[in-house]
């Protein structure tokens, strides 16, 4: 008999009568945000990571003059953190200080990200764009953000994964958009990425083979989508794989074989009626 003390496998033959039945999943190692980002918690994480590692000295452009600090109108600026949430903004402010490490733009009315919106912000560590109305992102918009590690882009109106994401990116929250397809190459060059939350209306046919090639993911969530089976070709180093609230009907022998380091597997509220003998044998115990 295989013990399941470490791997959390939640199976349910029928969906819950109401969304409130499903308890929130408590993940380890990353902040798990809903529609509102806890900026204070994000600041603590940023400070802890900077203190615990040899952080490269901040790049200061020639035009940077610390004796003349600026702060976008209506925003709050403190210790390299710029908070511009809940201001009804339609665009990214143009005068964000170049030394900014955390830029909070959540809960505004922004509809697009333009080419020069982040120009000069090469020191940015985290960008919060949650709960806007963004449907368009310029191909070159993220190119100045060469040190950014965390991008929170959930609860917008994206229909595709933005192009040319920074190679330094470690964590991407892009759930609750209108993304139906993840194409091969969408995450190209993101070798540092280890966390993706991609809850979107994605079908099995919308996950192209090779979509996650080159990634060293330890956490992947594709919950509340339209998957009818466990996706193939996912990164082998996954520790947490959450596929709750899909339309998965069976677990086949080869579905989980390559994920020998998997600690947590979420399959709650699917339509699973068949588990092939031996299909769970390779899971970490």
Q: Which of 263, 205, 257, 208 is nearest to 27 (CA)?
A: 263
pLDDT at 283: 80
Q: State mean pLDDT over 113-131.
A: 98
Residue 51's pLDDT band, with cuts at 50, 70 and 90, is low
Q: Which pLDDT score, from 0 to 100, does residue 11 have?
A: 41
Q: What is d(CA 257, CA 284) in angstroms, rounded to the nearest whole number?
A: 11
Structure pTM?
Answer: 0.81
Percent of residues, the chain, with pLDDT higher than 90? 71
Instruction: Check pLDDT > 70 for residue 17.
Output: no
Q: Which residue has the higher pLDDT, 149 or 69?
A: 149
Structure tokens at 199: 């809850």
Nearest Cα to Cα of residue 136 among 122, 156, 119, 121: 156
Provide the residue ranges of all domains of the chain, joining segments of one domain with +: 69-178, 183-284
What is the mean pLDDT of the segment spanning 244-251?
96
Provide the pairing of β-strand 150-152 with 136-137. Answer: unpaired
Rounded CA-CA distance 178/190 in Å is 22
pLDDT score, position 50: 65
pLDDT band (50, 70, 90) for residue 52: low
pLDDT of residue 102 exceeding 70: yes
pLDDT at 48 over 80: no
CATH of domain 183-284: 3.80.10.10
In a 3-state reduction of DSSP, which class is residue 171?
strand
Whole-number pLDDT of residue 9? 40
Residue 241 has pLDDT above 80, yes or no: yes
Is residue 61 pLDDT above 80, yes or no? no
- Let me know if the fold of 69-178 is the same as that of 183-284: yes
Average pLDDT over residues 75-97: 97
pLDDT > 70: percent of the chain = 79
The CA distance from 97 to 84, in Å, is 13
Residue 68 confidence class, pLDDT cut points 50, 70, 90: low
Segment 174-215, tens digit of pLDDT: 999 999 999 999 999 999 999 999 999 998 889 999 999 999
| Mean pLDDT, residues 241-263 | 94
CATH architecture of 69-178: Alpha-Beta Horseshoe (3.80)
Cα 198 from Cα 46, distance rounded (Å): 23
Name the pLDDT band for 25 (thresholds 50, 70, 90): very low
């Amino acid at each position: 008999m295989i013990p399941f003390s470490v791997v959390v496998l939640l199976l349910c033959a029928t969906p819950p009568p109401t969304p409130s039945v499903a308890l929130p999943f408590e993940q380890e190692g990353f902040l798990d945000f809903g529609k509102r980002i806890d900026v204070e918690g994000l600041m603590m994480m940023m400070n802890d990571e900077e203190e615990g590692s040899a952080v490269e000295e901040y790049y200061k452009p020639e035009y940077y003059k610390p004796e003349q600090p600026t702060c976008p109108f209506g925003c709050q600026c403190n210790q390299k953190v710029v908070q511009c949430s809940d201001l009804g903004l339609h665009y990214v402010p143009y005068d964000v200080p170049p030394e900014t490490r955390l830029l909070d733009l959540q809960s505004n009315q922004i509809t697009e990200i333009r080419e020069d919106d982040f120009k000069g912000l090469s020191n940015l560590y985290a960008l919060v764009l949650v709960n806007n109305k963004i449907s368009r992102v310029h191909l070159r918009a993220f190119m100045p953000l060469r040190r950014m590690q965390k991008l929170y882009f959930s609860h917008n109106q994206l229909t595709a994964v933005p192009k040319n994401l920074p190679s330094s990116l470690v964590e991407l929250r892009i759930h609750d958009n209108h993304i139906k397809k993840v194409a091969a190459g969408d995450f190209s060059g993101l070798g540092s990425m280890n966390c993706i939350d991609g809850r979107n209306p994605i079908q099995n046919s919308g996950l192209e083979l090779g979509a996650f090639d080159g990634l060293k993911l330890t956490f992947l969530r594709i919950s509340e989508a339209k998957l009818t089976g466990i996706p193939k070709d996912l990164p082998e180093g996954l520790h947490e794989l959450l596929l709750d609230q899909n339309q998965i009907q069976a677990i086949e022998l080869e579905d989980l074989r390559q994920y020998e380091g998997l600690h947590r597997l979420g399959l709650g509220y699917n339509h699973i009626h068949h588990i092939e003998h031996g299909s769970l044998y390779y899971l970490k115990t």
